[in-house]
A and B are shown apart, each in its own frame.
Chain A
Amino acid sequence: NAGVTQTPKFQVLKTGQSMTLQCAQDMNHEYMSWYRQDPGMGLRLIHYSVGAGITDQGEVPNGYNVSRSTTEDFPLRLLSAAPSQTSVYFCASRSQAGNQPQHFGDGTRLSIL
């Protein structure tokens, strides 16, 4: 099982550029989430989804868009990158069945110049 796969692992952007961070899971999990991790601030929830076609905002949604057209994929889009979006981004998925924990991807390290 691949689990949760994030691509790319590293990316450098210029201010104003757009980009999509990819997240795919092969566990048929209903729930998926995007977090950003910054020093001293832990992981902050950006957007999350409870199933295909359903997304909702988390703690820090501004500047990010998501969509969930399939169960497997949950891409995160930066429409106009800003230096404040320099961070490490983690995607996570979880089954809605039972007391299951989240599974995390390895992260995408994004730098915006």
Chain B
Amino acid sequence: AQSVTQPDIHITVSEGASLELRCNYSYGATPYLFWYVQSPGQGLQLLLKYFSGDTLVQGIKGFEAEFKRSQSSFNLRKPSVHWSDAAEYFCAVGDSSASKIIFGSGTRLSIRP
């Protein structure tokens, strides 16, 4: 069975600064990996996904993530954050068919003006 850990509960960064949100997964085979964002009171929006191929994945809103098999990680990055990026971010891992997808507990991102 797969699992996913987001070690940072809450992160605050200054507007314009770079961002990295950590995600570690556990799964015996090559996983399917996702990052979602959720603004307060809203539903989930997919930022990016990794299924296979290039380990550096580009997503929407200027986000990217890198799959590192040796570290069992799939960290989310953005070179320069905007105030509108304040939200909760969820990493998720799917099994070999991505029929069963497990989410992490989330990281809340705050932006300092």
Contact = CB atoms under 8 A, between A and B. Distances in A.
B90 A42 contact: yes
Given A43-B90, A101-B46, A94 B98 contact: yes
Interface of A: 31, 33, 35, 40-45, 48, 50, 56, 58-59, 90, 92, 94, 96, 99, 101-102, 104-107
20 contacts: A31-B99, A40-B9, A40-B105, A41-B105, A42-B6, A42-B104, A43-B90, A43-B103, A45-B102, A90-B44, A92-B101, A94-B98, A96-B97, A96-B99, A99-B49, A99-B52, A101-B49, A102-B34, A102-B46, A107-B43
Contacts of A48: 99-100
B105 A106 contact: no
Interface of B: 6, 9, 32, 34, 43-44, 46, 49, 51-52, 90, 92, 97-106
Nearest to A106: B43
A35 B43 contact: no
Contacts of B32: 99
B44 A104 contact: yes
Contact of B51 (A31, A35, A41, A99): A99
Given A40-B106, A99-B52, 16 more contacts: A33-B101, A42-B6, A44-B103, A45-B101, A50-B99, A56-B100, A58-B102, A59-B102, A94-B98, A96-B99, A99-B32, A99-B49, A101-B49, A102-B46, A104-B44, A106-B43
B43 A104 contact: yes
Contact of A42 (B43, B97, B100, B103): B103
A58 B99 CA distance: 11
A99 to B, nearest CB: 4
Please indicate which of the listed interface residues B44, B103, B105 has the most CB atoms of chain A within 10 Å of its own CB.
Answer: B44
